[in-house]
Structure 1
Amino acid sequence: MNFLLEPLHYDFMLKALFCSALIGCVCALLSVFLLLKGWSLIGDALSHAVVPGVAVAYLWQLPYALGAFTTGLFAAAAMLVLRRLPMLRQDAVIGFVFSVFFATGLLIISLYPTAVDLQAVIYGNILGIADSDLWQMLVIAGVSLLILALKWRDFMLLFFDDVQAVTTGLPVRRLQWLFFALVSAAVVAALQTVGAILVIALLITPGATAFLMTDRFGRVLICALIIGVVTAVVGAYASYFLDAATGAVIVVLQSFLFLLVFAIKHLAVHRATQTKSAHRLQCTAPVRYGEEGSV
C-alpha cells in the first residue's frame, strides 16, 4: 500500500491528478458535440493553431494563455468564413487553416528559438505546472462546465439539425462562436496536460467511445464524462510508475478503452445478427408432411 500510495505524497502529483481530471472532464464533453456535428478535425486544427499564439506570447513576455486563446479564435473565425465558400470542402478548409497556423508558429520559433520551449508546447508538462496555471485551468474548466450545463440542449439541437435550430429562433451564429471559444479555451488548458499534438485525442476518443456504448444523447454525455475523468486520472497516476510522459499514457489508455468497447460492441452485433439469421431460417424452412414432428 505504501508503494501504491507513494505518488499521493508529492504535491506535483496531486496537482497533476487534479488538472488531468479537470481537462479530461471538459474535453470529453466537448468531444461529444464535435462528433455529433462531424467536426472532430476542427479540434485538431485548433489544437495546432494555438502554437503561433504561444510563440508570440513568450516572445513579447505576455501570458501564453492569452496568445493561444487569441490565435485559436482567429483560426475558428477563418474556418467559419472559409466554410461559406461553395467551392471548398470542409476538410480542405480545416487542413488549410491547420497547416498555415502551425507552420507560422514553427517559423516564429525557428526565428527566435529561445522564446519558447517547443517541447513543452507539443508534449505538455503537467508535472511542472505552476500554481498560476492551475488556477487558470480551474477558471477555464469552471466557466466551460457552467456554459455547457446551461446551453447543452441548444448545442445539441444546433449540431444535430442546424436548420431546425434556425427555425426555432436560436442564435445560431452566436452559439457557434461560443462553442468555438469553449474549444479554444479547452485546448489552451490542455496544452499543459498533453500538449498540442495529443490534445486532439482528448477531443475525440471519449466521445467516440461513449457513442459506441449508448445512443441516447444524455447518457452519451454522462459516459463521455466518466471516461474522460477516469482515464485522465488513471493515466496520470500510472505515468508516475511507468516514468513516461503523462499525456501519452492518458491517450494510450483512452485508445485502449475505445478498442475494447469497439470489440465488445462488434461481437455483440455479430451474435445478434447470427441469432436473427438463424431465427429467420427456422421461420422460412419448408414443412415436410409425414415426418415425425410435422403438422
Structure 2
Amino acid sequence: MWLMSVLEPFTYGFMIKALVIAALVGGVCALISCYLILKGWSLMGDAISHAVLPGIVGAYLLHIPLGVGAFAAGLLNAAATGWIKDRSRIHEDSVMGVVFTGLMAIGLILVTKVSSNIHFMHILFGSLLGIERGDMIQAVVCSVVTLVVLIAKRKDILLYLFDKNHAQAVGLNVQAIHYLFLSLTALTIVASLQAAGILLTVAMLIIPGCIAYLLTDRLNRMLLISACSAVMSSLIGTYVSYYLNGATGACIILTESFFFACAMVFAPKYGMLAHRRAARKARLALA
C-alpha cells in the first residue's frame, strides 16, 4: 500500500512532464550558475530575471510568443547596463540595480493596465505542474540551444571570463563573447520561466554554483557537481510539491537551499566543520 502511495505521482502524465522539464532546466541553469559565480556576476542573473517582465507583457500585446519578448527584454537589460557603465563612473553592480529595477517597475505598471487571460502570477512564481505543450517546447529548445552553444564556445567563454586581456591578446572578440554569454543567460531564464517563474529563477542561477564552489576547486568538477545538485533538487522538489500541494518552484528552491546548507556545514575543505578542525589544529600547534 505504501509503495502505491510513493509511486502515485508517476502515474500522472503531468507529473512526468514536470519532472523532465524541471531536471532539464535545472541542469542548464546550474551550468550557467558556475560561470556567474566564478565571475562574480550573480547579480547579472538577478537583473536579467527581473527585467524580462515588461518584455513578456509587450509580447502579449504584440501577439508574439512570450519567450521572444522575455529574451528581448533580457538583452535590452544587458545592453543598457553595458552602455551606462561605459559612459559613467558608476560601478557595474550599481548600474545593474538601476536598470533592472526600472524595467521591473515598467513591467509591473503594464501588468496592472493590461487585461488578459494570462496568469502573470504564474510568470512571477512559476506553474510547472500546469505546463502546456507550447511552454514545454520553448523550455526544451532554449535549454538545448544554450547547452550546445555553451559546450561549443566553452573555451572562449572561459578565457574571457577569467582573463579578458589575454582573450583580447589572442584575437578573441571579447565584446561578442560578452554579449554571447549574456544572451545564453537570458535564454536560460526564458527556459526557466514556466518552471520557477521570474523571482525564483534567480535562486536557480545562484545556489547550484555556490554549492559546487564550496565542494571543489576544479571547474570540470564544479560543473558536474552543480548540475547534479540542481537536477536532484528539481526532481525532489517537484516530487515533494505533489504531496504538499505547494508551489513547485518554491519546493525546488527549498531543496537546493537544503543542499547548500549541507555543503556549507560538511564541505571537506571549505565547510564550517572543516574550518573548526583547522582552527583547533592551529591552536594545538601553538600550544
TM-score tier, shorter chain, comes to: over 0.9
Which stretch shifts more, 203-212 or 103-112?
103-112
The alpha carbon displacement at 1:33 in A equals: 0.5
Q: 1:240 aligns with which of 229, 232, 242?
A: 242
Report the Cα distance in structure 2 between the residues aligned to 1:134 and 1:114, rounded to whole angstroms.
21
The residue correspondences of 1:141-152 to structure 2 (distance < 5 A) are: 141-152=143-154
CA contact (8 A) 2:140 2:191 kept: no
Give secondary structure in 1 for the equivalent of 2:5. coil
5+ long unaligned stretches in structure 1: 282-295
Which residue identity is paired with 1:90? E
Residue 292 of structure 1 is matched in structure 2 by none
Report the Cα distance in structure 1 between the residues aligned to 2:87 and 2:159, rounded to whole angstroms.
24
Residue 21 of structure 1 is matched in structure 2 by 23
Which stretch shifts more, 183-192 or 111-120?
111-120
Aligned residues with identical type, % of pairs: 40
Residue 284 of structure 1 is matched in structure 2 by none
Alignment of 1:271 with 2:277, yes or no, is yes
Report the Cα distance in structure 2 between the residues aligned to 1:192 and 1:207, rounded to whole angstroms.
21
Which stretch shifts more, 22-31 or 113-122?
113-122
CA contact (8 A) 1:32 1:224 kept: yes
Residues 226-262 of structure 1, C-alpha deviations (whole Å, 9 max, x = no match): 1111111111111101111000000111111111111
Which stretch shifts more, 109-118 or 212-221?
109-118
The alpha carbon displacement at 1:212 in A equals: 0.1
Report the Cα distance in structure 2 between the residues aligned to 1:40 and 1:170, rounded to whole angstroms.
24
Residues 178-232 of structure 1, C-alpha deviations (whole Å, 9 max, x = no match): 1111111111111101101111000000001100001111111111011111111
Report the Cα distance in structure 1 between the residues aligned to 2:117 and 2:277, rounded to whole angstroms.
58
Which residue identity is paired with 2:279? T
Structure possessing the higher radius of gyration over alpha carbons: 1
Report the Cα distance in structure 1 between the residues aligned to 2:116 and 2:60, rounded to whole angstroms.
9
Residue 114 of structure 2 is matched in structure 1 by 112
Residues 104-142 of structure 1, C-alpha deviations (whole Å, 9 max, x = no match): 111111111336422111011111111122122111111
The residue correspondences of 1:192-231 to structure 2 (distance < 5 A) are: 192-231=194-233
CA contact (8 A) 1:58 1:115 kept: no
What TM-score, normalized to structure 1?
0.92
Pair 5,115 (structure 1): closer, same or farther in 2 beyond 3 Å:
closer
RMSD in angstroms over aligned alpha carbons?
Answer: 1.3
Alignment of 1:4 with 2:10, yes or no, is no
Residue 138 of structure 1 is matched in structure 2 by 140
Residues 69-123 of structure 1, C-alpha deviations (whole Å, 9 max, x = no match): 1111111111121221341111210111111110111111111133642211101
Which residue identity is paired with 1:17? L
Give secondary structure in 1 for the equivalent of 2:89. coil
**Structure with the bigger percentage of helix:** 2
Which stretch shifts more, 150-159 or 252-261?
150-159
Give secondary structure in 1 for the equivalent of 2:53. helix
Aligned residues: 281
Report the Cα distance in structure 1 between the residues aligned to 2:226 and 2:99, rounded to whole angstroms.
28
CA contact (8 A) 1:28 1:202 kept: yes
Give secondary structure in 2 for the equivalent of 1:272. helix
CA contact (8 A) 1:124 1:195 kept: yes
5+ long unaligned stretches in structure 2: none
CA contact (8 A) 1:109 1:115 kept: no
The residue correspondences of 1:1-295 to structure 2 (distance < 5 A) are: 1-114=3-116, 116-264=118-266, 265-281=271-287
